[in-house]
Structures are given as structure tokens and as C-alpha cells.
Chains A and B, each alone.
Chain A
Amino acid sequence: MVNFVILVMVGGGLGAMLREFVMLMVPNPVNGFPLDILAANLLAAFLLGLVTALHRRQILSDDVNMLLGVGIMGGMSTFSSFVYGSVVLMHASIASAVVASVYVVVSLALGYLAIIVGDKLGSRAHRPVPAAAGGAQ
């Protein structure tokens, strides 16, 4: 329990900082489309699909899943900035409202796809060969 608290907190902190770095690296186009948030959310969704599949196959332990899936990917992705950014755009002008609608639909569709692609990749990945096979046991 205490383990999980530490893993989620450390992971969430790292994830949020990663989101900040992604947002600093990805430029937003002039029409106001929030490409930076979209990039962070899609990356997090893809990695969450991957990690969840690897955890399901017990390639990743519960602890690692907690750190990566709940912590880092949960901290990297954000719903609140996604909807607030859309509200701001919708208020700005008719043209911006159109951009906001496209942003919402594209985010939902690509985010869903990103999970599926990550999951497919994690389901197919080869199980790592234990380094000390035939060892002390």
C-alpha cells in the first residue's frame, strides 16, 4: 500500500513533467489548435495501451504497472486542459469554434486508436528471455 503511494506519486510527478516537456517541444499552429496537449495525450494513450497489454501478460509486474500506467501515463495525459482548451477556443470566434470541434473529435478518435495500437504492440511483443535461465533454482 505504501509502495503504491510512492510509485503513483513519483510516476505522476515524472509524467506531469514529461507532459510539460512535450508541450514545450510541440508548436501550436496559428489557428489555435492545441497540438501540444493532443501530442501529450496521444503519447500517453499509446504507452498506456502498451503497458497494460504487457502487464496483462505478466511481463510487467504490478509495481511497474503502477509506476508506469497509473503514475507516468496518467500524469502525462490530461483531461482538464483538453476540455478547458476547447471551451476557450469555442468562445473566441466562429472559426475557432470549428477548430475546437475538430480538436475534440480528432482527440477522441486518435486517442482511442492510440490505445488499440499500443495494446496490439504489447500483445505481440516477444517475452524477454530470462537472463539467468537455469540458474540457482
Chain B
Amino acid sequence: MTALDVLWVGLGGGLGSLLRWWVGRVVGERYRSDFPLGTFLINISGAVPMGYLSVLFAVDWHTRHGTVLTALCLTGIIGGYTTFSSMQMDAVKLAGARGQVRAASYLGLSVVAGLLAAALGGALALVRG
């Protein structure tokens, strides 16, 4: 990790965060409910490419592109796009509105779907060629 890599992380994180905000807004405008669908969709849709690209970079591209792509795409864009803190904030709000069982179900559902999505992404990269 060099100083330049940190800058790639910053650039990617800015782009990923912007995308997160935009997707959250679009989903929030179209879907009104207590269930935090925006954060849920953001996190699951980020977990798939995280799995896919992590495997791809580790297997094929590591020697060719070094750490730049990892810093920009994985740590930066996808890391900045998905969010753990908003998920927990949603859960706390959900607990206030619908009770702790709903909040726990939301967290459980997010994690199970996220684990499956990340595993799916990794598997896709392995069977690809």
C-alpha cells in the first residue's frame, strides 16, 4: 500500500459513495415502506462484484496490475458503495418503529443474502473460464 494507492481508494470511495446516495434516493422515491429496501439492495448488489472481482484479481490480474485496481475498485468503489453503518442505523430505526424482532430479522436477512451474494460472485469468477 503506497501513498498513491490511498489516493485511488479516496477517488473510488467518492464515486462509490455518490452511487450509494443516488441508488438510495431512487429506491426511496419509488418504494415507501418501513423496510429499508435501499440500503438492502445497495449492500447485496455490492457484495456480488466484491466476490467476483476479489477472486478475479487474486487469480488473474494481481501480477499484471498490482494493487491499483484493488485499491480503486474493491477498497474504493465497492467499499464506499456498500455500507455497514447505515444498515445498523436502519435496524435501530426499525426497532423503534416495528420492534426488535423486525430489526433483528432485517439484519439477519441482510447478512444471509450478503453472504450468498458474495459467494455467488466468487463462484462466477471461478467457473468463468
Q: Which positions in A face B, CB cutoff 8 Å?
A: 4-5, 8-17, 19-21, 24, 41, 44-45, 47-49, 52, 70-71, 73-84, 86-87, 90, 104, 107-108, 111-112, 114-116, 119
B36 beta carbon closer than 8 Å to chain A: no
| 9 A/B residue pairs, CB under 8 Å, sorted by A | A16-B9, A16-B80, A45-B84, A75-B13, A79-B82, A79-B84, A80-B82, A80-B118, A112-B107
Chain B CB count within 10 A is highest, among A4, A8, A78, for: A78
Q: Which residues of A contact B80 (CB under 8 A)?
A: 12-13, 15-16, 74-75, 78
Hey, which chain A residues are within 8 Å of B10, CB to CB? 13-14, 16-17
Complex alpha-carbon distance, A14 and B80, angstroms: 10
Q: Separation in Å of the B58 CB from the closest CB of chain A?
A: 10
A44 touches B84 (CB 8 A): yes
Q: 17 extra interchain contacts, Cβ-Cβ under 8 A, other than A12-B18, A87-B119? A: A12-B16, A16-B14, A16-B80, A20-B1, A48-B85, A49-B89, A74-B20, A75-B13, A80-B47, A80-B79, A84-B47, A84-B50, A84-B122, A90-B115, A104-B111, A114-B88, A119-B92
Q: A115 to B83, alpha carbons, bound, how many Å?
A: 14
Contact B6 A17 (CB under 8 A): yes
Give which listed residue, B46, B79, B87, contacts A19 with CB less than 8 A: B79
Identity of the chain B residue whose Cβ is nearest the Cβ of A108 in the assembled complex: B107
By secondary structure, the A interface counts as helix
How far does the Cβ of B103 sit from chain A's closest Cβ, in whole Å? 8
- Contact of A112 with B92 at beta-carbon distance under 8 Å, contacts A15-B80, A77-B84, A83-B117 already known: yes
A4 CB → nearest B CB, Å? 7
A14-B10, A80-B47, A111-B88 given as contacts; is B83 within 8 A of A71 (CB)?
Answer: no
Q: Is the CB of B82 within 8 A of A78?
A: yes
**B residues in contact (CB < 8 Å) with A:** 1, 6, 9-18, 20-21, 43, 46-47, 49-51, 54, 74-76, 78-89, 91-92, 103, 107, 110-111, 114-115, 117-119, 121-122
Q: How far is the CB of A129 from chain B (nearest CB, A)?
A: 29
Q: Is the CB–CB distance between B83 and A79 below 8 Å? A: yes
Q: How long is the Cα–Cα vector from A108 to B91 in the complex, in angstroms? A: 10
Tell me if B92 and A5 are in contact (CB < 8 A): no
Does the CB pair B13–A48 fall under 8 Å? Answer: no
